Structure 1
Amino acid sequence: MGELLEKAKLLKAASYQMGMLTETEKNEALEQIAEALLSNIDFILQENSQDMEAGTAAGFAPPLLDRLKLTEDRIRQMADGVRQLLHLKDPVGEVTEKWTLENGLNIQTVRVPLGVIGMVYEARPNVTVDAAALCLKAGNAVLLRGSSSAARSNLALAKVMKAALQSSPVPEEALQLLEDTSRETASDMFRLNEYLDVLIPRGGAGLIQTVIKQATVPVLETGVGNCHVYIDESAEKEMAIAIAENAKLHRPSVCNAAESLLIHKDWPYHKELLQSLYEKGIELRGSDDLVKEFSFIKQASEEDWSTEYLAPILAVKTVAGIQEAIAHIQTYGTKHSEAIVSESKEHVQTFFRAIDAAVLYHNASTRFTDGEQFGYGAEIGISTQKLHARGPMGLRALTTVKSLVEGTGQIRN
């Protein structure tokens, strides 16, 4: 509790300073961070290599190692992501509403920082940079708690960024990494209401559910991505194949990759699509009819329909029509991202009305559910809840509002 409490106090004090900074001052700090990342590539890769060696020795699965690994190109991408934020409008101070009452009071609501954000995440060292940059740009102080698997990588990135802040208007204390990755300290963090304003978990279902169940600090829930692509009877052949393959193959280890493929029983090109997916290295687990038809498709279990594989595995099923597809997604979906490939306007409208998810797609891959792709810059996560924020969470999701009331001496009768 010692390290946690000490850093939480520093963050709380720094958060008051953060709320007073201008956009120019925050941008200056972000530019310093981007330059520091590029200047310290060798140091960051050296520290990451030790995490990779430890992960390999521990028998980490390839998808986890992929999320853990840093390369020179990935570090440059992180720096580019930070610089993208320089060109995004600072939401702090934005007037969201204003009106005048009959008694002459002028009221307006303006965006303000959330305050101190606790970020809890697994494996991905890039989240250390993304979360820090987004929180700082939106005027927040941030406590980063990564996993032990990426401890050296996260510490290296935090050291580089904190050193960069020393020569910027942003207080160095506004960015803290919790080096103690024990479960006990994490549990203490989840209940640190006096110092933390919100928690954001980013990782697998186990982590997210742990934070939700244990936290007394308000949680901005990021969700598991059991994403579906439904190919309707009218789907155009080449488009459907391209979308299905991109949604699964582009990067299987991320939350917006497709995990289930639903195909209308009368779509005439399913053999070509499934054969192509198999030949490109995807393990297919299917419904009874598909198992009988294709020797390379394994029998799907009930668990397969609800699994976020984060791997080159895909659950496949034929459905009788749009209603069965909707029912399947409503049963097994995680309200993340769902896609329909169809030329029927009626079916698309039905799909959009019936499916409850953060992002719905028509004739496009689920892989676009991403802050950068949406034009938000680096994202803090994908929210699948309905309060405060939903979908890719960029700068605005890291602010709240307060009301400013201007009077001329009014008193209430």
Structure 2
Amino acid sequence: MDFRLTDDQRQLQEAARAFAQGEMRDIARGLEQEDKALSAADIKRYAEMGFLGVNVSEDLGGLGLGNLEALIVLEEFAKVSPAVAFPIFESSVGPVRAVEHFANADLAKQIVPKVCAGEMVVAVAMSEPEAGSALTDLKTRGEIKGGKIVLNGQKRWCSGGGHADGYVVYCRMSDEPGAKGIGAVYVEKGTPGLSFGPQEELMGFRGVPSSDLNFDDVELPLDAVIVPAGGFKKLMEAFDLERCGNATMSLGQASGALDDVQGYVQERKQFGRPIVEFQGVQIKLAEMKIRVEGARLLIHRAACNAQDGMPSIIESSIAKCYANEISREVTGTAVQLMGGYGYSKEYPMERRLRDSWGWGIAGGAIDIQKVNIASAMVGRRFNQRVG
């Protein structure tokens, strides 16, 4: 096994890093302060630079590279902030990949090339008021009536809610209980009957819009089906890749924090010398580095073993769980090392700490990942509704 990046991968990483660090830092600060999403012009610039749909097939407007390359780019933007990284997340490891892999060819050609060209943003709507970790309890329903799909229900915690141009909506499409009745449909913003709740005010994730979605007799054509009833397993296969994206967004908070604090401790002086010369600081730096490198290796392992398909549930869950946990620890240590500067909103460290907590909740909470891991280890699913 060769753990080194290839020359092409390094060049891609360096290009993403130069753009993100050079052009997006000031923009990220503004998005944080104003809690506004990245502008359409900036997203279009991403497309021109080749940062959208990195692992989407060339036939659908992507670069045709692998999942690893997509995650390498994503980390460099996530180091700056989740707000500037979010369009890359959605285009490479988010709902667009479910559309690419499972939707009918006409629907995929209608959506995916526009996302890769920076002309539209697509979000996923999964959670509901009574269906978060217990996702198979969802109640939003798509019924076929008169040659159309009629969608009713409510979605909660939709990142991109009210801002995205289209939504991949998980819904119940038959009377079969549990996962057997679940599929997914595509709903365009502006479709009659679709409305949005107020924008959420969250602890972190500023610059990533989030709101409820309300469906009141929303009529969709039959070809809006991405996955029919019984396709929940396919949706979860796509979500295994999204877990790697979540892990990478989490990693970006930790690796960005490490980059910043490494420079800080070499410049900051106390007791007449740079604080990096104190053994306690050296130990903290080493511990942070170990955790960041471990998380990155687990994420890259999941991506590489997938051979550009969908990662396994156990490897993606391990990567997400570990990255979520170490991100909180590393950013917390960085805040402590920087003291008042780490706690001040004038600097990005306190924002990294807040954002790091969000990734351990979004996309399947940390403890749910541990249940997934245990299930994969013993070869069976556990019924959380009994015992």
TM-score, with normalisation over the residues of structure 1?
0.24
More helix by share: 2
Q: Could you say which structure has the larger radius of gyration?
A: 1
Larger RCO (CA within 8 A; separation ≥ 6): 1
TM-score, with normalisation over the residues of structure 2?
0.25
